[in-house]
Structure 1
Amino acid sequence: MNRETMLIEPAELLNKLGNDNLRLFDATFTDAAYRQGHIPGAAYFDHGRFSDPDSPYECTVLPLDRLIEQIGQSGISSDSEVVVYACGMLPYAARAWWVLRYAGHESVRVLNGGLSAWQAAGGPVEQQIRVYAPAIFNGTPRPELFAGKDEVLAALEDKEQAVINVLPLESYQAAHIAESTWLGCLELMQGMESFLSSDQIAARLRDTARYKRLITYCGGGIAAALNAMAHAMVGQENVAVYDGSLDEWTAEGLPLTGAGDWQIWKRR
C-alpha cells in the first residue's frame, strides 16, 4: 500500500463523480452534518450499522459474517470503487476505511481533506439523502487488522512489538495501558481533516520502523485507525487496531499506568 492507493485528492474525485461503479460515503459520526450538505451522490456511512450491537463497547466491529453482509446491504460490491470522507474529523473516515479493508475490500480510499477540501476545490454539495441498492460483497477478510485484548497483553511482553496510544498527550499522561508508548494522531494530521505529507509522516514514524508488529489504540477504536493507516502508508503494514481500546481495557481491570481521567474531551 501507499498514499496513492489509500487516499484520493479532491481533483481526482471531481473527475470520477457520477461513475456508475463509484460508491461514495460520508462517514461523519452522526448524520447531522450529512443532512446539512454532502458530496453529490454520497450515502451516509452509519458506523452503528457496522458495529456489534451485542458488544458492551461502542463501535466494536461486527463479526465478519455479519460485517460482510452489511457491506453488501450498503450497496458495496467486491468490484466497487469506494471513497469515504468525513466532515471535520478525519479519524472517522479512517475507521470506515479500516473496517472495509478488514472485511477484504480491495479498492477503498479516503478523501484527503474531507468535505472542506472538496468545497475548496470547487466541488458541489447537495442535501438529497442517497441510498445505494444492495449488492453482493465477497471479500477475503484480513483478520490481522484488528487485535483483541489477549494479543495486546502478549505484545506488551514482546520487545519486537509496540502498543501505541494515539490519544492526546494529556490523556496518555493521565492513564494508559501499562508499558505502551505514545504517538498522538494529532501529530499525523493537518488540523483534523488531512494527513500530513508522506515525508512528514515517515519522519514522525521513523522510530516505529524497527518493530515487527504494531498495535494502535485509543478510547474506542476510532482514532487508532488513523495512526494505523499512517503506519501502513509508509510501509509499516503489520499494524492492527485494538478495537476495544481503553473502553474495554479499563472496564476489565487490565494493567494501567496512571489513575487519572484519560477521557479529557468529556471535561470540556
Structure 2
Amino acid sequence: MKHIVPVKWLLARLYESDVVIVDCRFQLGKPESGREAYEESHIPGAVYLDLEKDLSAPVGEHGGRHPLPDAAELTVKLGKVGISNDTRVVAYDDQGGAMASRLWWLLKYLGHENVFVMDGGFTAWKNAGCPVSAEQKVLIPARFVATVQHNLLVEVDEVRESLGTGRYVLVDSREAPRYRGEAEPIDRVAGHIPGARNLFWAEGRQADGTWKSAEEQRERFADAGLSQDDEIVVYCGSGVTATPNVLALGEAGFTRVKLYAGSWSDWISWQDNPIAVGDEEARNDG
C-alpha cells in the first residue's frame, strides 16, 4: 500500500525523530468530542489537529460546510506542530479514515508527499495492545514551505462547465440514499450533481474497518466503470469523506484524480446549478 500503513509499521517507528503522528479524531455534530478523546487517550507523542478549527476555513456563503483552509495559514499551523518538508506524517482517526484522509489530502495539496494514514484507526491501535498516553507532547516548531498543487483541485465553475461534455467522470462519495435524493440529513437540498456516479466512500474498507487492498480497490472501481484514463472528480457532502475515495483511487493506481472540495454543500449554494435525483444508470437506461 502506498498511502496506508499498518499499526505495526507505526509502532516500530514511534519514537523516530522525523515522524509526526497526528490525531484527527472528529465527530460531526459533536465538535469538541475529538479533542476530548485525544486529551483522554492517544498514541504516544501524537499531536491533535481539529477538522473544523485547523483543517477547514470558516463557513461562508459559498465553499461548502468545510471550506479548504487558507494555504498560508495551514502551513503555519503545520509548522507549529512540528511538521517540516522532511517530516514523515502519519494521520489517524476513529472515523474510518475520513478525517485522517482529509489531512493526507491537504498535505498532498501543499506539496508534501511523505504522508500516510494508519490502517484501522485508534481502535485498531488499542486492540493490538499498543501503548496509549494522555500526556501531550512538547511541541518543537518546524518550518514547512508549501508548494500548492492546484492540479489536485477543481472549483465549482469547472464542474459546472464540464457537465454534459464528458471531460470529467464525477464520483459522489455519499451514501446511496443521499445521492439519490431520498434522504438528506445535513444539507438543505437533496440530490446529486447531474451525471455523477455513486461510490460510497466507506465501501473502500473491509468489514473490520481496515482498508481494502489495492487489488480490491481496483476491482471496486472497475465494477463502477472507472478507467485509469478518466479524469476523475470526487466529491461528497462537504469535501471531507470524498478524500478517502481519493486515497483509495491512488492506491488502485489512478493518477488523474481531483477533489471538488466544496462538494454538494457548495454546489447547492449556487442557485442556478442543476440538481439530479434518482439513480443515474436507471435513468440513462430508460
Q: Same fold (TM over 0.5)?
A: yes
Q: Which residue of 2 aligns with 1:7?
A: 4
Q: Is the 8 A contact 1:28 1:89 kept in 2?
A: no
Distance 1:172 1:236 in 2: 23
Q: Which residue of 2 aligns with 1:122?
A: 129
Distance 2:57 2:204 in 1: 29
Q: Which residue of 2 aligns with 1:168?
A: 175
Q: Is the 8 A contact 1:24 1:82 kept in 2?
A: yes
Q: Which residue of 2 aligns with 1:257?
A: 276
- Where structure 1 has 5 or more consecutive residues not aligned to the other structure, the ranges are 260-268
Shift of 1:54: 6.1
Distance 2:82 2:165 in 1: 41
Are 1:35 and 2:39 matched, yes or no? yes
Distance 1:37 1:205 in 2: 36
SS in structure 2 at match of 1:24: strand
Are 1:49 and 2:17 matched, yes or no? no
Judged with a 3 Å threshold, the aligned counterparts in structure 2 of structure 1 residues 60 and 131 are, in CA distance, closer, same or farther, namely: farther
| TM superposition score normalised by structure 1 | 0.89
Q: Which residue of 1 aligns with 2:250?
A: 232
Shift of 1:44: 0.5
Q: Which residue of 2 aligns with 1:82?
A: 89
Distance 1:234 1:131 in 2: 38
Are 1:200 and 2:200 matched, yes or no? no
Identity in percent: 30
- Runs ≥4 in structure 1, deviation > 6 angstroms? none
Are 1:209 and 2:227 matched, yes or no? yes
Matched pairs, number: 256
Shift of 1:186: 2.0
Q: Which residue of 1 aligns with 2:19?
A: 22
Distance 2:57 2:159 in 1: 20
RMSD between aligned alpha carbons? 1.8
Q: As a proportion of its length, which structure holds more helix?
A: 1
Shift of 1:212: 2.8
Shift of 1:118: 1.3
Distance 1:193 1:95 in 2: 17
Distance 1:26 1:155 in 2: 37
Q: As a proportion of its length, which structure holds more strand?
A: 1
Q: Is the 8 A contact 2:246 2:259 kept in 1?
A: yes
Amino acid at match of 2:3: M
SS in structure 2 at match of 1:176: coil
Judged with a 3 Å threshold, the aligned counterparts in structure 2 of structure 1 residues 127 and 44 are, in CA distance, closer, same or farther, namely: same
Shift of 1:248: 0.9
Are 1:101 and 2:98 matched, yes or no? no
| TM superposition score normalised by structure 2 | 0.84
Q: Is the 8 A contact 2:65 2:266 kept in 1?
A: no
> Which range is displaced more, 49-58 or 37-46?
49-58
